[in-house]
Chain A
Amino acid sequence: MAEPLLEVSGLVVRLGRGRERRSILHGVDLTVGAGESVGLIGETGSGKTTLARTVVGLHRAERGTLRVAGTDVTALRGARLRAFRRSGVVQYVFQDPLRSLDPDLTLGDSVGFGITDPGDRVADALLAVGLDPALAARRPGEVSGGQRQRAAIARAMIARPRLLICDEPVSALDAATRVQVLDLLSGLCAEHGIGLLYISHDLGSVAGITDRLVVLHHGDVVETGTTEQVVTAPCHPYTRLLIGSAPTVDGGGMGRAERAELRAQLAHAPNGKVLT
């Protein structure tokens, strides 16, 4: 296989200042190949969002390598970093479009930002995510939640990315809208051969859109494998508990007793990482 699109190895990230400074990721490895869809799952405090933000340079890596499409992004600073970002190779979709879109700018302005000849391209980008180009004149507060997130995806897609990072892109949406946005994302990635790093705590939306899963627990990768492997035959006790805790509609989940056993096992884990 050719060089992966995203290559993270031995990534250590510490956040905070002075005495508050804490290690969030302690040596994480991860790859996303071209056109591959990787799910990064974990709960509060697992470091999944920190990892995503470090990949795009919103946090600084303390150690480890971070290569995006062959470029060592940890070495980029200032104007070179901006130039790399303007190239649009990596795009990021945030959880809540109400926060990631400027409330005072029209959707058209937000989507067309940094594009030299916005005219038709904005309309095309909106059409590509299933939005009426007429919505370009509206502000984020004037459209529905699903339309807002579609606009945020349009903003990412207009840059013609090779790697798309989505941080909980559907958890702010209603169940019905959720599926539509997931359909849209998986369709776009397949159509354009985009590599997807999909970050979520919600297994209910991850399984259908990812080829591989990486399970993050307190800053460590505890399990990786194909999505089917991880979901049907998880190895690490935490992964087993995580999969067994996901509410399902088929009644095929784990029993209460088994969950209780796994919790006890994890509570007595040598690294003392208690779940409660």
Chain B
Amino acid sequence: MLRSVVASRTGTVSVAVLVFVALLAVAGPWLAPHDPLLQDPQAILAGASAEHWLGTDNLGRDVASRLLAGSTLSLVAALEAVAVGLVLGVVPALLSVHLGRAVEWLSLRLMEALVTLPFLVFAVAMTALLGNGLQQAMLAVGVLVAPGFYRVTRAAALPVATAQYVEAAVLAGASPWTVLRRHVWPKVVPAVAVSTASLLGASLVIVSSLTFLGIGITPPTPTWGGMLATDLQYLFQRPFGPFVPAVLIVATVWACNGIADALRDAPALSAERKVAAHVG
């Protein structure tokens, strides 16, 4: 699957960007030249220097170190949200196709209800209810991206469930579990992979929006969205300040979408290949 993504130029660049951001996130604590929370009253809103590569913020904290620490938090949070969405979306979708009409009806109505919820308002309400923490906020985001996974999985699984080759397998004595593993799952995976990539980007935007608003995170903890918010307040003193977190957010989201596109167009996964194979 990776090979087919790298085959396109957008795919290659996207993978490179994500690998770079992932390295920042993983190696952040070791790469950081300073403690991201350490305040230096002597150097408030300083420009770039050998000591502080990207300058300091309004409390004299090293911006580079805060960005590195923020990368870890922002990415992990987005991944967490997507993981929650995957479980809450894919599993009910597969069950809705295979467990009969009652489950189908219930899960469809539930997902429709979720789709009607406004993203940010729901996340704010969740953190108000469960406490203002990143875990709670990400749980909320996960619940909100679940319908996306649900729809994509169901769309891929539904034609398979009624396919004649599944009937043939059932007649050979296959259990529902075998049918799922052998026939349904391989057709669902490509679609889910595309959604995972694009919803990862979407989740990152939501994480950034929430932390920008101060939801899910308490002040000293650095995140990309939170830093963007503070930097914007000191635009006159450090005009370039907001650009660094903003560029990181945009590049990462773009890379996620790039990978999603490459996955979707990958010849090994696209529907055209199957159709062509049938005709030939």
Set A84, A86, A99, A142: member contacting B277, Cβ < 8 A: A142
Given A141-B274, A142-B277, the answer on whether A99 and B163 have CB atoms closer than 8 Å is yes
**A94-B164, A94-B168, A155-B168 given; A103·B277 CB < 8 A:** yes
| A103 touching B278 in the complex, CB below 8 Å, given contacts A94-B164, A94-B168, A96-B164 | yes
Q: How far is the CB of A276 from chain B (nearest CB, A)?
A: 30
CB-based contact A85/B165 at 8 Å: no
The reply on B1 being an interface residue by CB < 8 A is no
Known contacts A58-B167, A101-B165; decide if A86 and B173 are in contact (CB<8 Å): yes
For chain B, give the interface size range: 20 to 34
A114 contacts B164, CB within 8 Å? no
The answer to whether the Cβ of B174 comes within 8 Å of any Cβ in the partner chain is yes
User: Residue-by-residue, is A142-181 near B (CB-CB < 8 Å gives 1, otherwise 0)?
Assistant: 1000000000000100010000000000000000000000
Chain A contacts for B167, CB-based, 8 A = 58, 94, 100
Q: How far is the CA of A58 from the CA of B187 in the complex (A)?
A: 24
Q: If the complex has contacts A139-B277, A141-B278, are A159 and B186 also in contact, measured as CB distance less than 8 A? A: no
Residue pair A114, B174 in contact (C-beta under 8 Å): yes
| B183 and A102 contacting across the interface, CB-CB below 8 Å | yes
Q: Judge if B218 is at the interface, Cβ distance under 8 Å.
A: no
Nearest Cβ in chain A — how far from B37, in angstroms? 52
Of the four ranges (under 10, 10 to 19, 20 to 34, 35 or more), the interface on chain A belongs to 20 to 34
Roughly how many angstroms separate A101 CA and B167 CA in the complex, as a whole number? Answer: 10
8 A Cβ contacts from B163-184 to A: 163-165, 167-175, 182-183
Bound-state CA distance A86–B277 (Å) is 31
**B280 interfacial contact with A, CB 8 Å:** yes
Decide if A183 is an interface residue (CB 8 Å cutoff). Answer: no
Q: Which of A58, A105, A142 contacts B280 (CB 8 A)?
A: A142
Q: A72-92 vs B: 1/0 string, CB under 8 Å?
A: 000000000011111110011
Chain B positions within 8 Å of A261 at CB level: none
Residue B172 contacts which of A96, A113, A139 (CB distance < 8 angstroms)? A113
Closest chain B residue to A165, Cβ basis: B171
- At the interface, yes or no: A231 with Cβ under 8 Å from chain B? no
Least CB distance from A11 to B in Å reads 19
User: Is A228 an interface residue when CB atoms closer than 8 A count as contact?
Assistant: no
Check A98 against B278 for contact (C-beta < 8 Å). yes
Cα(A230)–Cα(B278), bound, Å: 39
Interface status of A128 (Cβ within 8 A of chain B): no
Whether B173 lies near A83 (C-beta < 8 A) is yes
In the assembled complex, the Cα of A114 lies from the Cα of B168 at a distance in Å of 12
**Cβ-based interface call for A241 (8 A):** no
A58 touching B171 in the complex, CB below 8 Å, given contacts A94-B164, A96-B164, A103-B274: yes
Of chain A, the residue at the smallest CB distance from B160 is: A102
CB neighbours of A114 from chain B (8 A): 172-174
**Measured CA separation A102–B161 after assembly (Å):** 12
Q: Which residue of B lies closest to A141 (CB)?
A: B277
A3 at interface by CB-CB < 8 Å: no
The interface bits of chain B over 145-174 (1 if a CB of A lies within 8 angstroms of the residue's CB, else 0) are 000000000000000000111011111111
Determine the residue in chain B with the shortest Cβ distance to A143.
Answer: B280
On chain B, the residues within 8 Å of A91 by CB distance are 171
Q: Does A104 contact B (CB under 8 A)?
A: yes
Nearest-Cβ distance from residue A152 to partner chain B, whole angstroms: 8
Report the nearest A residue to B280, measured CB to CB. Answer: A141
Q: How far is the CB of A142 from chain B (nearest CB, A)?
A: 7
Tell me the smallest distance from the CB of A58 to a CB of chain B, in Å.
6
Cβ of A56 < 8 Å from any Cβ of B?
Answer: yes
Instruction: Tell whether, in the assembled complex, residue B277 and residue A85 are in contact, meaning their CB atoms are under 8 Å apart.
Output: no
Q: How many Å from the CB of A168 to the closest CB on chain B?
A: 13
Q: Is B274 a contact of A86 with CB atoms below 8 Å?
A: no
Q: Given the complex, which residues of A lie within 8 Å of B172, measured CB to CB?
A: 85-86, 88, 113-114, 155, 159
Contact residues of B with A, CB < 8 Å? 163-165, 167-175, 182-183, 186-187, 274, 276-278, 280
Which 3 pairs across A and B sit closest by C-beta, in order of nearness? A141-B277, A86-B173, A85-B173
Q: List 9 A-B contacts (CB under 8 A).
A: A85-B171, A99-B163, A99-B164, A99-B165, A101-B165, A102-B183, A104-B186, A113-B169, A114-B173
A residues adjacent to B (C-beta < 8 A): 56, 58, 82-88, 91-92, 94, 96, 98-105, 110, 113-114, 139-142, 155, 159
Interface contacts beyond A99-B165, A141-B280: sample of 14 additional A-B pairs, CB < 8 Å, sorted by A: A58-B170, A82-B174, A85-B171, A85-B173, A86-B172, A88-B172, A92-B171, A94-B164, A100-B165, A101-B165, A101-B168, A102-B182, A105-B182, A159-B172
